[in-house]
A = this chain, B = another copy of it.
Amino acid sequence: MKDFIFYNRTKIIFGKNTQQQVGEELKLAGAKKILIHYGSDRIKKNGLFDQVTKSLDSANIKYVELGWVVANPRVSKVREGIELAKKEDIDFILAIGGGSAIDSAKGIAAGVYYEGDVWDFYEHKVIAEKAMPIATILTIPAAGSESSSGTVVTNEEIKRKKAFGSPLLQPIFSILNPEFTKTLPDYQTACGASDMLAHVFERYFVATKNVDVTDRLCLAHMKSIMKNARLVLENPNDYDLRAEIMLAGYIAHNGWLDVGRTRGDWASHIIEHELSAEYDMAHGAGLAIIFPAWMKYVYKENIARFELFAKEVFGIDKTGEEGVLLAISKLEEFYKEIGMPRRMSEANIENPDIKKLSSQASGQGTIGQFKELTKEDVEKIYELAK
Protein backbone atom coordinates (compact mmCIF):
# COMPACT_ATOMS: atom_id res chain seq x y z
CA MET A 1 0.00 0.00 0.00
CA LYS A 2 1.18 3.49 -0.79
CA ASP A 3 1.76 6.03 1.97
CA PHE A 4 -0.98 8.64 1.99
CA ILE A 5 -2.42 11.65 3.74
CA PHE A 6 -6.19 11.87 3.80
CA TYR A 7 -7.97 15.01 4.77
CA ASN A 8 -11.31 16.28 3.57
CA ARG A 9 -12.59 19.34 5.33
CA THR A 10 -15.95 19.67 3.59
CA LYS A 11 -18.89 19.50 5.96
CA ILE A 12 -21.80 17.80 4.20
CA ILE A 13 -25.31 18.94 5.09
CA PHE A 14 -27.65 16.51 3.38
CA GLY A 15 -31.41 16.29 3.28
CA LYS A 16 -34.72 18.06 3.00
CA ASN A 17 -34.88 21.84 3.47
CA THR A 18 -31.16 22.01 4.18
CA GLN A 19 -30.85 25.08 1.93
CA GLN A 20 -32.44 27.03 4.76
CA GLN A 21 -29.28 26.54 6.82
CA VAL A 22 -27.04 28.34 4.34
CA GLY A 23 -27.08 31.73 6.09
CA GLU A 24 -26.23 30.32 9.51
CA GLU A 25 -23.47 28.12 8.10
CA LEU A 26 -21.93 31.05 6.22
CA LYS A 27 -22.04 33.14 9.38
CA LEU A 28 -20.30 30.31 11.26
CA ALA A 29 -17.65 30.32 8.54
CA GLY A 30 -17.10 34.05 8.97
CA ALA A 31 -18.61 35.27 5.67
CA LYS A 32 -19.69 38.93 5.45
CA LYS A 33 -20.36 39.59 1.77
CA ILE A 34 -20.62 36.76 -0.70
CA LEU A 35 -20.76 36.15 -4.43
CA ILE A 36 -23.61 33.84 -5.44
CA HIS A 37 -22.42 32.03 -8.54
CA TYR A 38 -24.94 29.88 -10.38
CA GLY A 39 -25.95 28.29 -13.68
CA SER A 40 -29.29 28.93 -15.34
CA ASP A 41 -32.32 30.73 -13.96
CA ARG A 42 -33.81 27.34 -13.03
CA ILE A 43 -32.97 28.20 -9.40
CA LYS A 44 -34.96 31.42 -9.68
CA LYS A 45 -37.96 29.64 -11.14
CA ASN A 46 -38.03 26.81 -8.60
CA GLY A 47 -37.74 29.03 -5.54
CA LEU A 48 -34.27 27.96 -4.42
CA PHE A 49 -32.70 31.37 -5.05
CA ASP A 50 -35.35 33.13 -2.95
CA GLN A 51 -34.96 30.68 -0.09
CA VAL A 52 -31.21 31.20 -0.12
CA THR A 53 -31.38 35.00 -0.12
CA LYS A 54 -33.97 34.91 2.66
CA SER A 55 -31.59 32.82 4.75
CA LEU A 56 -28.73 35.22 3.92
CA ASP A 57 -30.83 38.21 4.98
CA SER A 58 -31.67 36.55 8.30
CA ALA A 59 -27.98 36.00 8.94
CA ASN A 60 -27.08 39.56 7.88
CA ILE A 61 -24.93 38.43 5.00
CA LYS A 62 -24.71 40.70 1.96
CA TYR A 63 -24.45 39.30 -1.54
CA VAL A 64 -23.98 40.02 -5.20
CA GLU A 65 -24.82 37.53 -7.91
CA LEU A 66 -23.26 36.24 -11.09
CA GLY A 67 -25.24 33.63 -13.00
CA TRP A 68 -25.33 31.88 -16.33
CA VAL A 69 -22.38 29.58 -15.90
CA VAL A 70 -22.73 27.14 -18.81
CA ALA A 71 -21.91 23.43 -19.02
CA ASN A 72 -18.18 23.13 -19.74
CA PRO A 73 -17.75 26.41 -17.86
CA ARG A 74 -15.78 29.13 -19.62
CA VAL A 75 -12.68 30.86 -18.38
CA SER A 76 -14.21 34.16 -19.58
CA LYS A 77 -16.93 33.78 -16.94
CA VAL A 78 -14.30 32.97 -14.31
CA ARG A 79 -12.46 36.18 -15.22
CA GLU A 80 -15.73 38.12 -14.95
CA GLY A 81 -16.28 36.63 -11.49
CA ILE A 82 -12.78 37.60 -10.36
CA GLU A 83 -13.30 41.22 -11.41
CA LEU A 84 -16.68 41.36 -9.71
CA ALA A 85 -15.36 39.78 -6.48
CA LYS A 86 -12.53 42.32 -6.34
CA LYS A 87 -14.77 45.28 -7.09
CA GLU A 88 -17.41 44.27 -4.55
CA ASP A 89 -15.04 43.28 -1.71
CA ILE A 90 -16.38 39.75 -1.61
CA ASP A 91 -14.97 37.46 1.09
CA PHE A 92 -16.75 34.17 0.32
CA ILE A 93 -18.20 32.46 -2.76
CA LEU A 94 -21.38 30.39 -2.77
CA ALA A 95 -21.83 28.22 -5.84
CA ILE A 96 -25.34 26.99 -6.59
CA GLY A 97 -25.66 24.36 -9.30
CA GLY A 98 -23.72 21.36 -10.56
CA GLY A 99 -20.06 20.78 -11.31
CA SER A 100 -19.92 23.65 -13.79
CA ALA A 101 -21.01 26.36 -11.35
CA ILE A 102 -18.79 24.91 -8.62
CA ASP A 103 -15.72 24.53 -10.83
CA SER A 104 -16.18 28.08 -12.08
CA ALA A 105 -16.44 29.28 -8.46
CA LYS A 106 -13.20 27.46 -7.63
CA GLY A 107 -11.48 29.26 -10.49
CA ILE A 108 -12.69 32.60 -9.11
CA ALA A 109 -11.57 31.58 -5.61
CA ALA A 110 -8.01 30.96 -6.78
CA GLY A 111 -7.85 33.83 -9.26
CA VAL A 112 -9.04 36.58 -6.97
CA TYR A 113 -5.75 36.65 -5.04
CA TYR A 114 -3.53 36.26 -8.12
CA GLU A 115 -2.22 39.15 -10.17
CA GLY A 116 -1.80 37.24 -13.43
CA ASP A 117 -4.41 35.56 -15.59
CA VAL A 118 -6.36 32.74 -13.91
CA TRP A 119 -5.76 30.43 -16.89
CA ASP A 120 -2.15 30.15 -15.64
CA PHE A 121 -3.38 27.82 -12.87
CA TYR A 122 -5.06 25.55 -15.44
CA GLU A 123 -1.87 25.55 -17.52
CA HIS A 124 0.03 24.58 -14.34
CA LYS A 125 2.30 27.60 -14.72
CA VAL A 126 1.68 28.65 -11.11
CA ILE A 127 0.42 27.00 -7.92
CA ALA A 128 -2.39 28.52 -5.85
CA GLU A 129 -1.05 29.79 -2.53
CA LYS A 130 -4.24 31.36 -1.28
CA ALA A 131 -7.87 30.99 -2.25
CA MET A 132 -11.14 32.55 -1.17
CA PRO A 133 -13.28 30.07 0.81
CA ILE A 134 -16.22 28.60 -1.05
CA ALA A 135 -19.38 26.69 -0.18
CA THR A 136 -21.87 25.00 -2.47
CA ILE A 137 -25.52 24.14 -2.83
CA LEU A 138 -25.52 21.17 -5.18
CA THR A 139 -28.44 20.80 -7.58
CA ILE A 140 -26.98 18.31 -10.09
CA PRO A 141 -25.27 15.19 -8.73
CA ALA A 142 -22.43 14.24 -11.06
CA ALA A 143 -19.02 15.82 -10.79
CA GLY A 144 -18.37 15.40 -7.06
CA SER A 145 -16.93 18.90 -7.09
CA GLU A 146 -18.92 19.64 -3.90
CA SER A 147 -16.14 18.08 -1.82
CA SER A 148 -13.22 17.71 -4.21
CA SER A 149 -10.19 19.93 -4.57
CA GLY A 150 -10.34 20.07 -8.37
CA THR A 151 -11.73 22.42 -11.00
CA VAL A 152 -12.10 21.93 -14.76
CA VAL A 153 -12.64 24.91 -17.03
CA THR A 154 -12.74 25.49 -20.80
CA ASN A 155 -10.78 28.20 -22.54
CA GLU A 156 -13.17 28.84 -25.39
CA GLU A 157 -10.73 30.96 -27.39
CA ILE A 158 -8.33 28.07 -27.84
CA LYS A 159 -10.92 25.28 -27.37
CA ARG A 160 -9.02 23.62 -24.52
CA LYS A 161 -10.52 22.16 -21.34
CA LYS A 162 -8.07 21.92 -18.46
CA ALA A 163 -7.99 20.99 -14.77
CA PHE A 164 -6.09 21.92 -11.66
CA GLY A 165 -6.46 21.11 -8.00
CA SER A 166 -5.52 22.38 -4.56
CA PRO A 167 -6.70 21.51 -1.03
CA LEU A 168 -7.46 25.25 -0.77
CA LEU A 169 -10.36 24.69 -3.17
CA GLN A 170 -12.19 22.11 -1.03
CA PRO A 171 -15.51 23.71 -0.09
CA ILE A 172 -15.96 24.62 3.58
CA PHE A 173 -19.43 23.12 3.43
CA SER A 174 -21.82 21.74 0.85
CA ILE A 175 -25.57 21.53 1.05
CA LEU A 176 -27.16 18.59 -0.76
CA ASN A 177 -30.95 18.49 -0.98
CA PRO A 178 -32.16 15.72 -3.29
CA GLU A 179 -35.55 17.48 -3.66
CA PHE A 180 -33.98 19.94 -6.10
CA THR A 181 -32.81 17.15 -8.39
CA LYS A 182 -36.28 15.69 -8.97
CA THR A 183 -36.92 17.97 -11.94
CA LEU A 184 -33.63 17.28 -13.71
CA PRO A 185 -34.13 16.10 -17.29
CA ASP A 186 -33.39 12.39 -17.78
CA TYR A 187 -30.45 13.17 -20.02
CA GLN A 188 -28.77 15.23 -17.32
CA THR A 189 -29.48 12.60 -14.66
CA ALA A 190 -27.89 9.98 -16.91
CA CYS A 191 -24.87 12.18 -17.69
CA GLY A 192 -24.38 12.58 -13.95
CA ALA A 193 -24.48 8.82 -13.36
CA SER A 194 -21.97 8.30 -16.16
CA ASP A 195 -19.66 10.90 -14.64
CA MET A 196 -19.72 9.40 -11.16
CA LEU A 197 -19.24 5.87 -12.52
CA ALA A 198 -16.20 7.15 -14.42
CA HIS A 199 -14.79 8.62 -11.21
CA VAL A 200 -14.81 5.16 -9.67
CA PHE A 201 -13.34 3.56 -12.83
CA GLU A 202 -10.43 6.01 -12.79
CA ARG A 203 -9.67 4.99 -9.20
CA TYR A 204 -10.17 1.25 -9.61
CA PHE A 205 -8.16 0.75 -12.80
CA VAL A 206 -4.69 1.58 -11.56
CA ALA A 207 -1.44 -0.12 -12.38
CA THR A 208 0.07 -0.49 -8.93
CA LYS A 209 -0.43 -3.38 -6.56
CA ASN A 210 -4.05 -3.20 -5.60
CA VAL A 211 -5.45 -2.32 -2.19
CA ASP A 212 -8.04 -4.94 -1.33
CA VAL A 213 -10.06 -2.74 1.04
CA THR A 214 -10.58 0.08 -1.47
CA ASP A 215 -10.87 -2.30 -4.45
CA ARG A 216 -13.92 -3.81 -2.79
CA LEU A 217 -15.41 -0.44 -1.93
CA CYS A 218 -14.89 0.70 -5.54
CA LEU A 219 -16.53 -2.41 -7.00
CA ALA A 220 -19.46 -2.19 -4.59
CA HIS A 221 -19.91 1.47 -5.47
CA MET A 222 -19.94 0.81 -9.22
CA LYS A 223 -22.83 -1.61 -8.65
CA SER A 224 -24.71 0.94 -6.54
CA ILE A 225 -24.38 3.65 -9.16
CA MET A 226 -25.56 1.44 -12.02
CA LYS A 227 -28.47 -0.01 -10.05
CA ASN A 228 -29.70 3.33 -8.73
CA ALA A 229 -29.21 5.16 -12.03
CA ARG A 230 -31.54 2.69 -13.72
CA LEU A 231 -34.06 2.95 -10.88
CA VAL A 232 -34.07 6.74 -10.66
CA LEU A 233 -34.67 7.10 -14.40
CA GLU A 234 -37.73 4.89 -13.98
CA ASN A 235 -38.87 6.81 -10.88
CA PRO A 236 -37.59 10.38 -11.24
CA ASN A 237 -39.79 11.66 -8.41
CA ASP A 238 -38.64 9.18 -5.80
CA TYR A 239 -36.84 11.11 -3.07
CA ASP A 240 -34.91 8.11 -1.74
CA LEU A 241 -33.58 7.17 -5.17
CA ARG A 242 -32.58 10.78 -5.86
CA ALA A 243 -30.84 10.72 -2.48
CA GLU A 244 -28.97 7.49 -3.31
CA ILE A 245 -27.63 8.97 -6.55
CA MET A 246 -26.72 12.26 -4.89
CA LEU A 247 -24.87 10.42 -2.12
CA ALA A 248 -23.20 8.17 -4.70
CA GLY A 249 -21.79 11.14 -6.63
CA TYR A 250 -20.32 12.60 -3.45
CA ILE A 251 -18.70 9.31 -2.42
CA ALA A 252 -17.35 8.64 -5.92
CA HIS A 253 -15.13 11.72 -5.84
CA ASN A 254 -14.54 12.75 -2.21
CA GLY A 255 -11.35 10.72 -1.85
CA TRP A 256 -12.71 7.85 0.27
CA LEU A 257 -12.32 5.33 -2.52
CA ASP A 258 -8.66 5.92 -3.25
CA VAL A 259 -6.92 6.07 0.10
CA GLY A 260 -3.67 4.11 -0.15
CA ARG A 261 -3.85 3.87 -3.92
CA THR A 262 -2.00 5.87 -6.55
CA ARG A 263 -3.74 8.95 -7.86
CA GLY A 264 -5.87 7.02 -10.33
CA ASP A 265 -5.51 6.68 -14.08
CA TRP A 266 -7.43 9.72 -15.42
CA ALA A 267 -6.39 9.19 -19.05
CA SER A 268 -10.02 8.71 -20.08
CA HIS A 269 -10.90 12.04 -18.47
CA ILE A 270 -8.14 13.81 -20.38
CA ILE A 271 -9.19 12.13 -23.64
CA GLU A 272 -12.81 13.10 -22.98
CA HIS A 273 -11.97 16.70 -22.13
CA GLU A 274 -10.65 17.26 -25.66
CA LEU A 275 -13.85 15.84 -27.06
CA SER A 276 -16.20 18.01 -25.02
CA ALA A 277 -14.04 21.11 -25.50
CA GLU A 278 -14.03 20.64 -29.28
CA TYR A 279 -17.65 19.60 -29.71
CA ASP A 280 -19.19 21.17 -26.58
CA MET A 281 -20.90 17.98 -25.45
CA ALA A 282 -21.80 16.96 -21.89
CA HIS A 283 -18.86 15.50 -19.99
CA GLY A 284 -20.85 12.45 -18.81
CA ALA A 285 -21.90 11.65 -22.38
CA GLY A 286 -18.30 11.97 -23.55
CA LEU A 287 -17.16 9.56 -20.84
CA ALA A 288 -19.72 6.96 -21.95
CA ILE A 289 -18.12 7.15 -25.39
CA ILE A 290 -14.50 7.07 -24.24
CA PHE A 291 -14.47 4.55 -21.37
CA PRO A 292 -15.47 1.41 -23.29
CA ALA A 293 -12.93 2.31 -26.00
CA TRP A 294 -10.21 2.86 -23.38
CA MET A 295 -11.06 -0.45 -21.72
CA LYS A 296 -10.89 -2.37 -25.00
CA TYR A 297 -7.50 -0.85 -25.71
CA VAL A 298 -5.84 -1.37 -22.32
CA TYR A 299 -7.33 -4.45 -20.62
CA LYS A 300 -4.43 -6.74 -21.56
CA GLU A 301 -2.12 -4.74 -19.29
CA ASN A 302 -3.71 -6.35 -16.26
CA ILE A 303 -6.41 -8.79 -17.20
CA ALA A 304 -6.92 -9.96 -13.59
CA ARG A 305 -8.09 -6.48 -12.63
CA PHE A 306 -10.69 -6.59 -15.42
CA GLU A 307 -11.72 -10.14 -14.51
CA LEU A 308 -12.48 -9.05 -10.94
CA PHE A 309 -14.47 -6.10 -12.33
CA ALA A 310 -16.42 -8.49 -14.61
CA LYS A 311 -17.16 -10.87 -11.75
CA GLU A 312 -18.06 -8.41 -9.02
CA VAL A 313 -19.98 -5.84 -11.05
CA PHE A 314 -21.67 -7.99 -13.70
CA GLY A 315 -21.56 -11.45 -12.08
CA ILE A 316 -19.53 -12.83 -15.01
CA ASP A 317 -17.72 -16.03 -14.07
CA LYS A 318 -15.95 -16.43 -17.43
CA THR A 319 -12.31 -15.42 -17.19
CA GLY A 320 -9.81 -14.26 -19.79
CA GLU A 321 -10.56 -12.16 -22.84
CA GLU A 322 -14.06 -13.57 -23.26
CA GLY A 323 -15.16 -12.53 -19.77
CA VAL A 324 -13.59 -9.10 -20.05
CA LEU A 325 -15.12 -8.29 -23.44
CA LEU A 326 -18.49 -9.49 -22.17
CA ALA A 327 -18.18 -7.08 -19.21
CA ILE A 328 -17.35 -4.18 -21.52
CA SER A 329 -20.38 -4.99 -23.68
CA LYS A 330 -22.54 -5.10 -20.52
CA LEU A 331 -21.21 -1.67 -19.63
CA GLU A 332 -22.14 -0.41 -23.11
CA GLU A 333 -25.61 -1.89 -22.65
CA PHE A 334 -25.92 0.06 -19.41
CA TYR A 335 -24.95 3.30 -21.15
CA LYS A 336 -27.50 2.61 -23.88
CA GLU A 337 -30.21 1.81 -21.34
CA ILE A 338 -29.79 5.14 -19.56
CA GLY A 339 -29.71 7.05 -22.85
CA MET A 340 -26.00 7.76 -23.21
CA PRO A 341 -24.21 7.64 -26.58
CA ARG A 342 -21.59 4.90 -26.89
CA ARG A 343 -19.85 6.15 -30.01
CA MET A 344 -19.07 9.60 -31.37
CA SER A 345 -21.41 8.83 -34.28
CA GLU A 346 -24.27 8.38 -31.81
CA ALA A 347 -23.50 11.88 -30.52
CA ASN A 348 -23.63 13.28 -34.06
CA ILE A 349 -19.89 13.79 -34.24
CA GLU A 350 -19.02 12.88 -37.82
CA ASN A 351 -15.46 12.98 -39.14
CA PRO A 352 -13.77 13.93 -35.86
CA ASP A 353 -10.31 15.40 -36.25
CA ILE A 354 -8.59 12.55 -34.42
CA LYS A 355 -5.05 13.75 -35.14
CA LYS A 356 -5.74 17.10 -33.53
CA LEU A 357 -7.65 15.64 -30.54
CA SER A 358 -4.91 13.07 -29.86
CA SER A 359 -2.13 15.55 -30.12
CA GLN A 360 -3.82 17.91 -27.67
CA ALA A 361 -4.80 15.14 -25.24
CA SER A 362 -1.34 13.62 -25.00
CA GLY A 363 0.50 16.94 -24.94
CA GLN A 364 4.28 16.54 -24.91
CA GLY A 365 4.40 13.14 -23.22
CA THR A 366 2.19 10.25 -22.12
CA ILE A 367 -1.05 10.19 -20.15
CA GLY A 368 -2.55 7.65 -17.74
CA GLN A 369 -0.82 5.02 -15.68
CA PHE A 370 -2.78 1.74 -15.97
CA LYS A 371 -1.19 1.89 -19.40
CA GLU A 372 0.94 4.92 -20.22
CA LEU A 373 -0.58 6.17 -23.44
CA THR A 374 1.38 7.88 -26.21
CA LYS A 375 -0.21 10.06 -28.87
CA GLU A 376 -0.46 6.98 -31.11
CA ASP A 377 -2.26 5.03 -28.36
CA VAL A 378 -4.70 7.89 -27.86
CA GLU A 379 -5.40 7.98 -31.61
CA LYS A 380 -6.35 4.31 -31.51
CA ILE A 381 -8.70 4.91 -28.58
CA TYR A 382 -10.45 7.74 -30.45
CA GLU A 383 -10.68 5.42 -33.49
CA LEU A 384 -12.38 2.75 -31.33
CA ALA A 385 -14.78 5.43 -30.08
CA LYS A 386 -15.80 6.80 -33.52
Contact = CB atoms under 8 A, between A and B. Distances in A.
Interface stretch (A1-9, A293-301, A337-345, A355-363): A1-9
Interface in A203-226: 209, 211-214, 216-217, 219-221, 223-224
B3 A11 contact: no
A270 interface: no
B247 A259 contact: yes
A6 B14 contact: yes
A260 interface: yes
Given A213-B251, A224-B213, A243 B1 contact: yes
Interface in A1-42: 1-9, 11-16, 18
A228 B213 contact: yes
Given A216-B220, A219-B220, A221-B213, A4 B11 contact: no
A331 B217 CA distance: 21
Contact of A223 (B16, B216, B227, B240): B216
A137 interface: no
A3 to B, nearest CB: 3
Contact of A259 (B8, B11, B14, B217): B14
Nearest to A252: B213
Nearest to A214: B247
A49 interface: no
A244 interface: yes
Interface in A256-271: 256, 259-260
Given A1-B243, A219-B220, A220-B219, A260 B213 contact: no
